[in-house]
Structure 1
Amino acid sequence: MGARSKYRKRALDVLFESELRDTGLGGTLAGRRETNDPPISEYTVTLVEGVVAEQEAIDALIVENARGWSLQRMPGVDRNLLRIAVYEILHVDDVPDAVAVSEAVALAKELSTDDSGSFVNGVLGRILQLRTSSS
């Protein structure tokens, strides 16, 4: 697993834990940074803080393209992987869109349900189509 892959997984851990603890989306980041166990990279911080800052727009885009799925109905891992990938697609210029998608799909397959990889891929594919057609 590459360095950025680990950083994405750590960002997922922080976002998922924050939701479970009901601390607000990035609410556990400060504590994780303080203990630094497991280590929290600057890229992880960038992802978590970026998702938190852009949450409203990111969530709206996900819901619009999830076709019949509300955020609450999605598994928490899928929801937060989508948030991270959408943030990278829209706001991180040095990560190719295909990399953001493939990383999210790989983590969904590894950490979530049997159908999560194809679900995440489908939602992100629609977002990329929308983005390409509006450019």
Structure 2
Amino acid sequence: MKRHLAREKAFQVLFQVDVNDIDMEEAIEHVLEETKSDAFMEQLIHGVFAQKQVLDEKISNHLENWTIKRLPLVEKTLLRMAVYEMDFVEDVPAQVAINEAVELAKVFGDEKSGKFVNGVLSKMTK
């Protein structure tokens, strides 16, 4: 599985866990269907889940006129994933994590999601 697809699947799993309050393994099974699991996808899912509090704190410090609790779930999930990659995945450059998050925001969010995600993440790299 290519990393872009792994990120997309990881996003879908994390989103489902938050929206439906279901077990992570059940969400992974549902998202993957017949597709084989991927180590990078699993790392993102379990890493974001394990570091959620640290990630939310870091994101909160870079939000203007928003709180982490008020963020739409699409943007919050993508920000968590990107910040996790930037802070915990050594072989992913920050700009790649940002670009991937923005691309996924354009697919899963609304017309403003990509710009919002880009703005928050760009502040974090400065």
Structure 1 length-normalised TM: 0.85
Name the counterpart of 1:77. 74
Distance 1:106 1:89 in 2: 16
How far 1:22 sits from its partner (Å)?
Answer: 2.0
CA RMSD, 1 decimal: 1.6
Partners of 2:66 and 2:21 lie apart in 1 by 21
2:21 aligned with 1:22, yes or no?
yes
| AA at the equivalent of 2:62 | N
Unaligned ranges ≥5, structure 2: none
Q: Could you list the runs of 4 or more consecutive aligned residues of structure 1 that deviate by over 2 angstroms after TM superposition?
A: 32-36
Identity level (%): 36
Does structure 1 retain, via aligned residues, the 8 Å contact 2:98–2:121?
yes
The 5 Å alignment of 1:1-135 reads: 3-23=2-22, 27-28=23-24, 30-34=25-29, 36-37=32-33, 39=35, 40-129=37-126
The answer for unaligned runs of 5 or more in structure 1 is 130-135
The alpha carbon displacement at 1:38 in A equals 5.0
Please give the TM-score of this superposition, normalised by the length of structure 2. Answer: 0.90
